[in-house]
Each structure stands twice: as C-alpha cells, then as structure tokens.
Amino acid sequence: MIKYIVKRMATVLVVLWMVATLTYFTVHVTPGDTATAILYSVGGESAVNSDNLERVRSKYDLDRPVYEQYFEWVINAFKGKLGTSYKYNKPVAYMLKLRVPNTIRLGLAAVVLSIVISIPFGIVSALHHNRFLDHAGRLFTLLISSFPSFWVAVILIIICALKLKLLPVGGMQGPQSLILPAVTLSMGMTAATTRMMRSSMLDVMGQDYIWVCRAKGLKWNKIITRHMLKNALPPIITVIGLQIGHVLGGAVIIENIFSWPGVGGLLIDAINAKDTPMIEGCVLLIAFGYAMIHLIVDMIYACLDPKLKYGGEDA
C-alpha cells in the first residue's frame, strides 16, 4: 500500500511538472506583450509608455529568453517558491493561501449539497424503477445537466436576489452568500451522481443474493440498507471523485459571476494581466487538487472493493 502511494505520488509530480511546463509556454505564446499587459492591468492604457515598459521589463527580467525564465521558475517551484505576482507585487503562495479556503468552502458546499440530493434521489428512482417517480427523476437529471450553469446563475440572481430579495447578489457576506453559487455549481454533479446511484442500485437489485435475502424473509428495509446500499455505493465514490474535479473547473466561471473571492477569480484576472507566476500558481494548485482527489478516490475504492487491483482499468 505504502509503495503504491509513493508510486502514485511520483506520477503526480511528473504530471504536475508537465502541466506546469505546458502552461508556461502556453502563456508565453499568447498574443500580447507581457510587459504591456502588466502595465495595462496596473495602471490602465495611460500607464503604457516606453519608459514604463522598459522599467517593467528590467524589473521582472522579461527580456531574457523564455527557456531561461522557465528553468529558473521550475527550479524555484521545486524549492516550493512560486514567485511573486507581477500584478499584485505579492508572493503567489500568499495570495493563494488567502483565496483557497473560499474555493474549498464553495466546492465543499456544492459537493455536500449534491450528495445530499442525489443519493436519496437515485435510490428512490431505482426503487420505483419505470414508474412515475423514476421517469420524473430521470427527466430532472437530464434537465439540470442540460442548462448552462452560467445562464442559470444569471436567472437565479434575478429571481432570488432582485425579485424576491431573499439573498445577496454576490460577494461574500455571511453564509447566505454561499447559497446561490453552491446551488448552481452543484447542478452538473447532482445529475451525474443521481444517474450513477440509480443505475448502480438497479444493478444490485438484479443480483441473485438479493433474491436469497428475500427468500430468507429479511425485511425489505433491511435488505435496502444492509445489502443493496453497501454494494451500490463503491461505484458512486468514483463518480463523486471525478465530479469534485469538475466542480473545481466549474468554480472558475461561477466565482466570477457571483464575485466570490476564490482562486477562479484570481486565475481569470491573472490570465488577462498575463501574470505568469500567478497563472502558474493557480493552475498548479488546481491540478494538484485534482490529482489528490483522484488518488484519494482510488484508495477509498480499493478499500471498499478488494477485488480491484491498484491502478487497474477504469470503466
């Protein structure tokens, strides 16, 4: 087990390095001069003049060849130094540390919300297989996965904040600010998890041992909780894990719409300012979070299902 974790961590490192490299060169071939973008983001178009450009280039050593800048960045990153943001003039690690808890909070809220909704929904759908509730549930999941989340966000703001005056339109002022972003963010995940829960339950319901339980005269409730759920849950965990990753991605858009001060807003801001150290920091962090979630999911899955070999096939 320990050996497996070490091996996986090594893979994660390699993946992170490749991700970082790809991002680095991506940012560098993006149209637009870096010094211009920095100055524009700092002081508007009026700040962009030849004097200032020269100063910025020498301050951040932007005139060096890209590969030189890249190597220096990689070496520092391995030492755990993510550098200083061009735009904010503050250490990237510090900025991330401030923002990450908000993204985690939003992500967790969305994940918890969708688990709370989707698992009971999935079970009920399966138990009512091919009856009204099942069809309704299936239609519901199809619907919520079909609406674009940013569009739903805009509509929700209008209805809940403006017309009903129930919730704030954005920002982060107390727990009520979390509701709208979390609801929008959880939509896609709720749909996928509900569907998975339903089909996983159906799968288990068709197994012979359930018939044995029935034949033994066990109570139906007991069969559901003791036998069906226990066997239907493991595949759900994989789906939840994968979905958490997607929640991370979706958070970028949702945070922007709701002015939620998380990593997503920082990333979009950094992309516009060509703030390379900041972009790198955000992307690495998200990729790392993604990889760790996958690792944890695989481990939990392995614990729950001993038949499965580590690192085995998916699907």
Partner 1 sequence: MRRQRKKIVNRKNYILYIGIVLSAVIVLVTIFAPFLAPCDPTKMELSQKFIAPCREFIFGTDHLGRDIFSRVIEGSRVSLSVAATVVFFSAALGVSLGMISGYMGGTADMLIMRVVDVLLAFPTIIFALALSTMMGTGQTNLIVAITCIQWTRYARIARGEALMLKHAEYVEAARSIGNSTVQILGKYIFPNVISKIIILASLDIGTIILYCASLSFLGLGAQPPSPDWGVMISEGKDYMQYAPWMALFPGLAIAFCALAFNMLGDGLRDLLDPRLKEVVRTD
Partner 2 sequence: MKKRMISILITAAICASILAACGSETKETTSGVEGGPETGVENSADEKVLRIAFPDVLTTVDVANVTSATMLKEVAGVCETLVHADEDFTLQPNLATEWAMTGDNTWEFKLRDDVTFHDGTHMDAEAVKWSMEWELKNNSAFAGSTFIESVEVIDDLTVQFTTSRKTTDLPAALSYVGTVVVAPSSVDDSGNFVKAVGTGYFKQDAFDEVSGTFECSVYDGYWQPVETNVTRRIVRCITDAGARSLAVQNGEIDIASDVPFSDLETLAGSENVQVSKFNTARTYFYEYNMKKDIFQDERVRKALIYAINKEEIVNDVLLGVGGVPKGILMDDMPWANIDVDTYDYDSDKAQSLLEEAGYTDSDKDGYLDKDGEKLTLKLITFTKRPGCQLILQATQGYYANIGIDTSVEILEWSAMNELIQNGDFDMALNSAASAYIPTPAYYMDTYYGDNDIGYVNESVNVLLDECRATTVMEEKYQYSKEAQALAQEDAAIFTPALYGAVFALSKDVENFRYNAAAHDFIVPYETSLK
Q: Does 104 bind partner 2 (CB under 8 A)?
A: yes
Identity at 225, one-letter amino acid code: T
Q: Which of residues 263-282 bind partner 2 (CB under 8 A)?
A: 265, 269, 272, 274
The tokens of 226 are what?
């003791």
The tokens of 18 are what?
């490749």
CB 288 to partner 2: min, Å = 12
User: Which of 117, 113, 119 is CA-nearest to residue 183?
Assistant: 113
Please list, residue by residue across 54-69, b when 16 or more beta carbons sit within 10 angstroms of its beta carbon and e when fewer do: eebbeebebeeeeeeb
Contact 27, 86 (CB under 8 A): no
48 binds, among partner 1, partner 2, none (CB under 5 to 8 A by kind): partner 2
171 binds, among partner 2, partner 1, none (CB under 5 to 8 A by kind): partner 2
Name the 3-class secondary structure at 164. Answer: coil
Q: Which stretch binds partner 1 (CB under 8 A): 43-51, 169-177, 234-242, 302-310?
A: 234-242
Q: Does 309 bind partner 2 (CB under 8 A)?
A: no
Contact 74, 25 (CB under 8 A): no
Q: Does 145 bind partner 1 (CB under 8 A)?
A: yes
Q: What are phi and psi of 91, to 5 degrees?
A: -60, 135
Select the residue interacting with partner 1 from 23, 36, 52, 259 (CB under 8 A). 23
Q: Does 146 bind partner 1 (CB under 8 A)?
A: yes
Long-range (24+ apart) CB contacts under 8 A made by 30-33 are 30/274, 32/274
Q: Does 51 bind partner 2 (CB under 8 A)?
A: yes
Residues that bind partner 1 (CB under 8 A): 11, 14-16, 18-19, 22-23, 26-27, 29-31, 129-130, 135, 138, 142-143, 145-151, 154-155, 158, 162, 188, 192, 195-196, 199-200, 202-203, 205-206, 211, 214, 235, 239, 242-243, 245-246, 248-250, 252-253, 256, 267-268, 271, 283, 286-287, 290-291, 313-315
